[in-house]
Structure 1
Amino acid sequence: MSTKLKASYNPPVFSSFEEQRRHLKQKLAASFRLFSRFGFDEGVAGHITARDPELKDHFWVNPFGVHFSQISASDLILCNHDGMVVEGKYPVNRAAFAIHSQVHAARPDVIAAAHSHSVYGKSWSALGRLLDPITQDACAFYQDHSLYDDFTGVVLEIEEGKRIGKALGNNKACILRNHGLLTVGKSVDEAAWWFITMERSCQAQLLAEAAGKPVLIDAENARATYETVGVSYAGWFQFQPLWNRIVNEQPDLLD
């Protein structure tokens, strides 16, 4: 991103934890509405979490059993890293706690993490492979995603979450074999965008490989492209048009 562009579009700055928390919860609710719009929901599976700006060992998450399309900011629940709901009237998804508590614990730089059972993400994950740099968009993950090469059933135990956190490492994303995608970011915007574009990159590679043998982008150009489309600011910025669209269409999500 150019210096001029960064100067024109910057992430917001807040004067209080309360203001920052309200904004974070609204971005989280918007992400769920968008995930529903894109078809990333499947039953009660899937979750996006955001670390509380004041209580660093607590995270906000979607209420268990509420459809993504119906989630508003006020529906979100606050969970501590012992798995207890400390604010909100709904229970927490046990798998959400097992995975996200350990990702947040392993990555203090991460504000948000996203996971769902999206069709192309889980299809690609069944191959047990990393994505190749075959498109400009896929270069956002060039040398910046990993593979959790195991599947032991529904993730309900902390130890499994720890293994996923270790497999993620310092990357922005991890492919969970036979399961789906996990993305993280320094903002809700970033984590949600990485998931959206990674899902589409999985779709693109599946389609390309079904048609023939994709031509890979060479390492030098893949790295140069990554420095434009794969950095943290780019992830935040790419989410903004989607945020504007969903808030305009469904303003009740802000409540």
Structure 2
Amino acid sequence: MPAPVAPQDLIQALQPLPMAPSAISELAPTVLQTKKTDNVIDNGTAAVGKEPTPLEAISHGAVMPGIPTFPSYTEHRKHILVHMAATFRYFARHGFTEGQSGHISVRDPEHHGYMWMNPLGVHFGLLTAGHMICMEIETGKIVGGGKPAQSLTANAAGYLIHSAIHKRRPGDIHAICHAHTDAGRAWSVFARPLDMLSQDICNFHNAHAVYASYGGIVFASDEGERIADALGARNKGAILMNHGLLTVGATVDEAGFMFGLLDRGCRHQLQVEAAAANGHLKKNIITDEEAAYNFKMASEENALYREAQPDLEYEFAMAGGEEVLAKGFDALQFFTSS
């Protein structure tokens, strides 16, 4: 006859077994939890009562670094253009291409009246820092690049859109992304903003616009101005009806990450609308209060810079190293004095 089992042994036997690491969910709750404010470290000392930054709140242990600083404009410019090239390669990998359509611009860190854009007709997946063209924001004059000015060609419609936005918001916008994606174009025909259907899309809570008009291919400055009007003074993105998507950021990293997020948000919205079309399924939308908190904790420029790094580091690795995407940078020059 088996020996009797002690009550405490029976209780222990009934406890659930520990889950394998691969079975543990890493999804965060809808409302992000912040750390206790009395444990925040400021320059190596405790800052009692200070609210944690988004990067402090999300980091368990060492705080992840935000936007880097540089000892010279040349090094800063190289970082920007290399990350711009990596963002284009990310776009290519995710199918954000349509012939010669699509463009990214970044404001020069030294000459704030200049912006860098991609050349017309070069596939996003082939771009390096040395391909980029520098233009004067006010006039469109080509003022820099790796070839003689007369042999460089940028997208005319791109210049009209990007220059209008850069001129409107010189203080907070330093990068702009625009492309014609499948999901973006599909959702744009409804001329509706996105619902807050997921934690991630809350990065656009009260921060994306709809340009509910279509003025054809942008060959005149007034259409660029109308797109800038729709984007407004604080939005991070815009859905352009019958056209595509546009996002902005303090860095090209932020603008690129937000572009991918906006495209995925359009795809998710289309999927949800299709699933709910028969009227039997109810959409559960995140409340304004929860969405506003998520936006506050996840949409700060250093946090969004950091969000982009895994995808960009993957592009560096796939290209054979970050220096591969820096190809041609040393040959870039300004054709006119500032």
TM-score relative to the length of structure 1: 0.96
Give aligned pairs, total: 255
Greater percentage in helix: 1
Q: Which has the larger radius of gyration?
A: 2
Name the structure 2 match of 1:122: 185
Name the structure 2 match of 1:94: 156
Counterpart residue type for residue 243 of structure 1? L
Name the structure 1 match of 2:84: 28
Name the structure 2 match of 1:3: 56
Counterpart residue type for residue 156 of structure 1? F
Counterpart among 267, 278, 282 of residue 203 in structure 1:
267
Given that 1:175 and 1:181 are in contact with CA atoms closer than 8 Å, whether structure 2 keeps it comes out as yes
Task: Determine if the alignment matches structure 1 residue 192 to structure 2 residue 264.
Answer: no
CA drift of 1:2 comes to 4.2
Deviations 1:97-135 (A, max 9, x none): 010001100011211000000110111111100011011
Counterpart among 321, 325, 332 of residue 253 in structure 1:
325
Alignment of structure 1 residues 220-235 onto 2, 5 Å? 220-235=289-304
Deviations 1:183-216 (A, max 9, x none): 0000010000000111001101100110014221
Alignment of structure 1 residues 144-163 onto 2, 5 Å? 144-163=207-226
Counterpart among 263, 288, 309 of residue 219 in structure 1:
288
Name the structure 1 match of 2:112: 56
Alignment of structure 1 residues 37-186 onto 2, 5 Å? 37-81=93-137, 82-88=139-145, 89=147, 90-108=152-170, 109-169=172-232, 170-186=234-250
Identity of aligned residues (%): 40
CA drift of 1:233 comes to 2.4
Counterpart residue type for residue 56 of structure 2? T
Q: Distance in 1 between matches of 2:264 and 2:117?
A: 24
Q: Distance in 2 between matches of 1:55 and 1:159?
A: 26
Q: Distance in 2 between matches of 1:123 and 1:234?
A: 29
Name the structure 1 match of 2:331: none
Name the structure 1 match of 2:68: 12
Q: Distance in 1 between matches of 2:68 and 2:301?
A: 15
TM-score relative to the length of structure 2: 0.73
- SS of 1:39 mapped into structure 2: coil
Q: Distance in 1 between matches of 2:228 and 2:192?
A: 18
Q: Distance in 2 between matches of 1:160 and 1:60?
A: 21
Given that 1:79 and 1:92 are in contact with CA atoms closer than 8 Å, whether structure 2 keeps it comes out as no
Counterpart residue type for residue 242 of structure 1? D
Deviations 1:203-255 (A, max 9, x none): 01100110014221111111111122333222211101111111011132221
Unpaired runs of 5+ residues, structure 1, are none
Given that 1:47 and 1:62 are in contact with CA atoms closer than 8 Å, whether structure 2 keeps it comes out as yes
- SS of 1:45 mapped into structure 2: coil
CA drift of 1:10 comes to 2.0
Counterpart among 300, 305, 308 of residue 239 in structure 1:
308
Unpaired runs of 5+ residues, structure 2, are 1-53, 277-281, 328-338
- SS of 1:8 mapped into structure 2: coil
Name the structure 1 match of 2:40: none
Counterpart residue type for residue 284 of structure 2? V
Q: Distance in 2 between matches of 1:240 and 1:124?
A: 27
Q: Distance in 2 between matches of 1:105 and 1:186?
A: 14
State the superposition RMSD in angstroms: 1.3
